């Protein structure tokens, strides 16, 4: 498990998630759309909710959804329209204001500060969130506390350094005694692998159900890279992409399911 040696905290952390972040760096540059564009994410959100509904049986009372890192609230809005009882937690004041303008129940702050009641949620969704929080263990312990018995955690996010190219590059740096300096806003405070995620979840008392890795296809390099670096990365990714697709191994992203007993 890797992490930034120097991490932003408090007001400095909150300032990273300014309105510009949701227009330019939302989802770490993997989406050309801004967070305010509902249509750009509608199909994805509908597919997510269909998968949630397959895991939480229908009943007389509304199913209770909590999204941690709810951004501008489009998933919560879709959930409400499908009969869920949705709540959100979001660090950005701008995103919270947009969500509340839609009539959504969104807490401004982090999950631990929200102080939700014990066993009050049926499903918690965290999409590209856990790597951003200062204390990932405290967040997962809070997830376990607020989930109802049998409740489900759906977590998606990067496992970037688990991929072949990044693992190789880090090994080279370590071999020559090099230091890696991050030359971009420090959004990701942690870099997980499947094994460290499983250890983290199980240490909080959650049961590991399943995990599916994915790999960003070759030719979509993130950040500024020289031509030789791009060629080397492309070569690694041409091997990595089918390896991940066929064997569920060495991905750079993961979606996992865990359950509270």
Tokens 């199980």, residue?
Answer: 202
Of the candidates 163, 140, 136, 145, which has an alpha carbon nearest to the alpha carbon of residue 217? 163
Report d(CA 256, CA 209) in Å as an integer. 8
Give the model's confidence band at 201: pLDDT under 50 very low, under 70 low, under 90 confident, else very high. Answer: very high
Rounded distance between C-alpha atoms, residue 132 and residue 137, angstroms: 12
Q: Give the global pTM.
A: 0.93
Q: How far is CA 12 from CA 9, 28, 186, in A?
A: 6, 18, 11
Residue 202 pLDDT exceeds 70: yes
pLDDT digits (tens, 9 = 90+) for 1-16: 889 888 888 888 888 8
For 23, 123, 186, 214, the CA distances from 115, given in Å and listed in that order, are 30, 17, 27, 33
Q: What is the pLDDT of residue 185?
A: 85
pLDDT at 28 over 80: no
Closest CA to 2 of 248, 196, 227, 214: 196
In 3-state terms the chain splits into helix, strand, coil percentages (rounded to 5) of 45, 20, 35
Q: What is the fold of 2-259? A: Rossmann fold (3.40.50)
Give CA separation, 36 vs 93, 94, 194, 227, in Å: 14, 11, 31, 34
Terminal CA-CA length for the chain? 26
Write out pLDDT tens, residues 88-144.
Answer: 999 999 999 999 999 999 999 999 999 999 999 999 999 999 999 999 999 999 999
Q: What's the mean per-residue pLDDT of the chain?
A: 92
Q: How many residues does the chain have?
A: 261
* Residue 220 banded pLDDT, cuts 50, 70, 90: low
Cα gap 252→250, rounded to integer Å? 7
CA 178, 183, 184, 186 torsion-angle sign: positive
Give the three-class secondary structure for 216. coil
The CA distance from 251 to 49, in Å, is 24
Position of tokens 């969500």? Answer: 99
């Amino acid at each position: 498990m890797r992490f930034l040696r120097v991490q932003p905290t408090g007001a400095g952390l909150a300032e990273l998630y300014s309105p510009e972040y949701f227009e330019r760096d939302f989802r770490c540059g993997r989406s050309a759309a801004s967070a305010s564009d509902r249509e750009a994410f509608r199909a994805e959100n509908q597919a997510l909710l269909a998968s949630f509904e397959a895991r939480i049986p229908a009943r007389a009372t509304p199913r209770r959804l909590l999204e941690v890192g709810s951004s501008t609230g489009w998933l919560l809005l879709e959930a409400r329209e499908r009969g869920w009882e949705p709540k959100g937690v979001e660090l950005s004041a701008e995103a919270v204001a947009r969500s509340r303008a839609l009539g959504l129940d969104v807490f401004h702050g982090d999950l631990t500060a929200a102080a939700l009641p014990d066993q009050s949620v049926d499903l918690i969704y965290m999409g590209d969130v856990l790597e951003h929080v200062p204390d990932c263990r405290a967040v997962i312990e809070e997830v376990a506390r607020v989930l109802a018995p049998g409740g489900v955690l759906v977590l998606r996010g990067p496992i970037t350094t688990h991929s072949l190219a990044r693992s190789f590059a880090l090994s080279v740096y370590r071999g020559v005694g090099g230091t890696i300096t991050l030359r971009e806003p420090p959004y990701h405070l942690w870099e997980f692998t499947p094994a460290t995620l499983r250890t983290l979840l199980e240490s909080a008392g959650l049961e590991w159900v399943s995990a599916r890795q994915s790999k960003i296809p070759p030719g979509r390099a993130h950040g500024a890279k020289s031509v030789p670096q791009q060629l080397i990365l492309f070569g690694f990714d041409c091997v990595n992409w089918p390896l991940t697709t066929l064997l569920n191994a060495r991905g750079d992203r993961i979606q996992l399911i865990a359950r509270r007993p």
